[in-house]
Amino acid sequence: MGVGLLLTGFVSYHARAEEVEMTVGAVAPDFSLVDQNGTTRTLARFRNRWVVLYFYPKDDTPGCTQEACRFRDDLPALRKLDAEVLGVSVDNPESHARFSGKHGLPFPLLADTDGKVARQYGALWSLAFIRFAKRHTFIIDPQGKIAKIYRQVRPEIHSREVIEDLQALQRLAR
């Protein structure tokens, strides 16, 4: 048995997406996480507002930077829709502070260092002792329910998709 085959077997056995089946209409799991400024944030605090909760793998990597900067650039349009953006990864608050400062990100980046929240949302990927948040996004309505789920995200267009879907969801809610 070659080393490549052994490694492939190890990876397929140990790498797993820790899937939880979140569905549209389900109550979004609440959380309490620290952001890049040391402020504890809870989902409950954003009740009565739309929330764009986006999970991303790693601070300051190309796709994650592109996605975060698109949300930054589109934040005025999102706020006009009464939406708050919250980014979540398993990086620590210090890493989030560097990433946020470097790119001028004006929204909370939440540190889910143990992966508990990502796991609750079905957005955790594990390989032995390595964990990453998968690039998933959830639009949460003002009542705290999941209104839209994105499991396939293209960082370069994602914030525009979210804006269009928020507009459509808000039209339906009237």
Q: Angle at the Cα of 138 (from 28 to 19), degrees rounded to 5? A: 75
The SS3 of residue 52 is strand
Question: What is the Cα–Cα distance from 105 to 96, expressed in whole angstroms?
Answer: 10
Q: In 22-36, which positions are buried (b, 16+ CB within 10 angstroms) versus exposed (e)?
A: beeeeebbebebbbb
Q: Residues with catalytic annotation?
A: 64
Cα–Cα distance, 50 to 58 (Å, whole number): 25
Q: 57 and 134 in contact (C-beta within 8 Å)?
A: yes
117's CB contacts (< 8 A; 6+ apart) are 29, 31, 33, 88, 110
